A and B are shown apart, each in its own frame.
Chain A
Amino acid sequence: MIGIRRGRVITPRHGEIDFSRDDISIEICQQLYEEDFPYLAITEEGKKELYGAEPDLVVSESDPVFEHLPPAEENPDELKTSIPIKRKYKK
């Protein structure tokens, strides 16, 4: 259930249902879900069982692979890079 504690609700078609009970039939739950009953959400397992639907893929935004460079400084002639440059000096 979503948005409400498990308990009594007067439903449009089935009258009063006490959702704290564990013996509510799947058919009633399916009808309520299909009639946009606001307090029931379907699980991925339920979607697969009732509608044969594959679970939705959840794509989450990952961390950026590269870090952003700091803002450019005032001296444009100086080349900035994120890779340290090794300089060779003549002895």
Chain B
Amino acid sequence: MSIEFTDINKNLPNGENMGGINQKVYFGFHADVASWPTKPVNPLTLEANATLTGDLTMKTGKRMFELYITDDTGEFNIETVGEVDAKSFVQHLNFFHPGLQKKILGFMNAAKNDNLVFIVVDAEGQKYLMGDSMRPATYQGAPDGNGTGKETAARKGMSAEFTYKTANNHVYGGSIPLTESVSG
């Protein structure tokens, strides 16, 4: 491995280190992605070893979509898995969407058994791409339940967990197309 180790100091630009994720996550069908950003190949620095290069682009007529989540319910979590000499990661996205409107019900109906891609933005604006050319993000269940709740003060809505299995963790620095791609 040609990577050079360097000192890793406390590095909080402007003293910022808020937790949680933004109130929007971005999603699309894995099959609708035209091109993926590239993973590092023989990176020379630690930062390069965690950086994706390029943009995710969508096939003609397709785009990414945004999904609103209730504040302080969204979480991006990295789990380490695997045996010795075979370690890898599972990235988890958890969120709660308020209400039981037809759109969110329809989304869960469509997403539960399909292959998706998510882009998650943390409180500092750093983006994580859940999905690559080989592996999608998939639905795992509803960690905080789905439904009306019992009391009138209960929180009615849909929770969801999606996971993405990856050999390494990377930061995505590209754009998110919320408008349809066209040919040419």
Contacts and interface: CB of A to CB of B under 8 A. Distances in A.
Nearest to B35: A38
Contact of B173 (A5, A8, A12, A38): A12
A10 B63 CA distance: 12
Interface string B159-184: 00000000000000111111111101
Nearest to A20: B179
Nearest to B57: A38
Contacts of A12: 173-175
A46 interface: no
Interface residues of B, number: 15
Contact of B182 (A3, A11, A19): A3
Contacts of B36: none
Contacts of B54: 36, 38
Contacts of B181: 3-5
Interface of A is mostly: loop
A6 interface: yes
Contact of B179 (A4, A11, A36, A38): A4
Interface in A9-56: 9-12, 16, 19, 36-39
A2 interface: yes
Interface of B: 26, 54-55, 57, 173-182, 184
In the A-B complex, list the 6 residue pairs whose CB atoms are closest, starting with the nearest.
A7-B179, A10-B176, A8-B178, A38-B55, A5-B179, A5-B180
